Amino acid sequence: MIEAVGLTKRYGAKTAVYNLSFQVRPGTVTGFLGPNGSGKSTTMRMILGLDAPTSGTATIAGRPFRSLPNAPRQVGALLDAKAVHGGRSARAHLLSLAQLSGIPARRVDEVLGVVGLQDVAGRRSKGFSLGMGQRLGIASALLGDPQVLLFDEPVNGLDPEGILWVRNLMKQLASEGRTVFVSSHLMSEMALTAEHLIVIGRGQLLADMSVKDFISANSADFARVRTPDSEPEQREKLTAAIGEAGGQATPEPDGALRVTGLPLPRISDLAHEADVRLWELSPHQASLEEAYMRMTQGAVDYRSTSDPRAGLQEVPAGYAPPGYGGPGVPGQMPNPYAQQAAGAVPGPGYPPPAPAQGHPYGAPAPYAAPHPYGQPPAAPMPPAAPVDQTVPHTEDAR
C-alpha cells in the first residue's frame, strides 16, 4: 500500500504540493488525476524517493522507498519512458537493470515478450518510436515482478491495440492483489481502467473516492423525455405535471425535454396519469470527463485565450466576426483595428496606428514567378521514420 501523510513540497517561493494525504490500496487500479502543474509528477517522485518532501511522509508498505530492501523487487515505476541510454539495445538496457537488482537474466526475455518487444530486443533504443519507448518503460517496471507499481501516462504514444493492452494489463495486475497507481489525462481511458480516483489541483487534494461516486458527486444527472412532435399540447401537459411534482423540465433544441429532480419511474407514472404518450424516456449520466472538468475548473493554471492577432486579418466586406464587429454593429464590441483603418481616434489603451507600410518582406511573389536567386535546389527527402515493429504481447511468464 502507498500512503502519503501531510505531504508538502516547496521549490523556493512556489508550493508544488501542499498537505496532501491519501492511501493507494492493493487490489484496485487507482487513477491519479489533475490539471497540468497540479503536482502529480512531483507527488510520484516523492513517493519514489527522487524528491525529498519539505514536510510530511510518503511510504510504501509502511516504509520510505529508500529504506526498502532491494526496492526494485518490491516497487516498479514508469515516470519517464525516455530515461534510457539511446546507444543500448532494449535487451541490454533491461539486463543492466536486472543485474543491478539481482534479477535472473531469463526475466529480461520474459518481460520483453510481455510488452511485445522480443523481435526488436537487439535494436538500439534511440531508434524506437514513442510507443516502443513506452513499452520498454513498462517492461522496466515489471522486471522485478513487484507488488507496487506506479505509472505516469503509460499510454502516451501507444496505438489503440497498445492502449487496450495497457488497460487489460493494469486490471490483471490489480486482480493479482498488487497496488497499481496510474496517472493519466485521458479521461475516457481512466473511466474504463480505474476503480478509484485521487484528484488533486494546485497541489491539494480535491477528491478521494470511487469513479462512480466521483461522477455522481460532480455531475447533474437528468432524464431525456420526448412526446409526439405533432402534438405540442402533450408536452405542455407533461411539463405542468412535472412541475407540480417538484421536478423541472427544460426544453431541448430538438424538441425533447430535459427533466431533473425526478427519477425515471416517477416521470413515467406522471405521463401515464396525464394521458401523455412518450416517444422517449432515457437516463443521462455525465461522463468522467464532464465530472472532472466541473470539479477542476477552478484549479486550472494554464488556460488558452483567443488570438489577439485575429483582428489583424483581412475581413471580407459585409462580414464581422463575433466579438470584433465594426462600427454600428449592434450587440458586438467595436473592432479597434477596424477603427484605426478607418482613421478614427484610437481608444484608451491602444497605441496610435502606425503609418501604412507595405508587406514587411515585400509583396508575395505570384505563382510561377521566377525564383529571385535562380532555381532552388530540390529539398532532400527526410529520412524515413522508424517503423514500429512491435508484435502482439505474450502472456506474462512470471
* Per-residue model confidence (pLDDT) at position 351: 45
Q: pLDDT of the chain along its 398 residues, tens only?
A: 999 999 999 999 999 999 999 999 999 999 999 998 899 999 999 999 999 999 999 999 999 999 999 898 999 999 998 888 989 999 999 999 999 999 999 999 999 999 999 999 999 999 899 899 999 999 999 999 999 999 999 998 889 999 999 999 999 999 999 999 999 988 989 999 999 999 999 999 999 999 989 988 887 778 999 999 889 999 999 999 999 999 999 998 888 999 988 989 999 999 999 999 999 999 887 788 888 888 888 777 777 777 777 656 555 555 544 444 444 444 444 444 444 444 444 444 444 444 444 444 444 444 444 444 444 445 555 555 555 555 555 555 55
Enter the C-alpha cell of residue 30.
487507482
Domain 222-286 = CATH 1.10.3470:
no
Q: What span, in angstroms and rounded, lies between the C-alpha atoms of 79 and 83?
A: 9
What is the predicted pLDDT for the residue at 299?
78
What are the sequence ranges of the domains in the chain?
A: 2-217, 222-286
Q: What is the pLDDT of residue 88?
A: 92
Q: Up-side HSE of residue 267: CA atoms within 13 Å toward CB?
A: 26
For residue 389 the three cell numbers come to 515493429
Residue found under cell 484605426: 340
Q: Given this model, what pLDDT does residue 72 score?
A: 86
Equal CATH topology for 2-217 and 222-286:
no
Is CATH 3.40.50.300 the classification given to domain 2-217? Answer: yes
3-state secondary structure at position 189:
helix
Calpha distance 20→39 (Å, rounded): 10
In the numeric block, which cell numbers belong to residue 307?
A: 488570438
Confidence (pLDDT) at 225: 94
Yes or no: say if 201 and 37 are a contact pair by the CB < 8 Å rule. no
User: Taking the model in full, what pTM does it have?
Assistant: 0.69
- Burial (0-12, 13-18, 19+ Cβ within 10 Å), 286: middle
> Which helix (H) or strand (E) segment is 244 a member of?
helix 232-244
Task: Write out the H or E segment, with its range, that includes residue 290.
Answer: helix 288-296
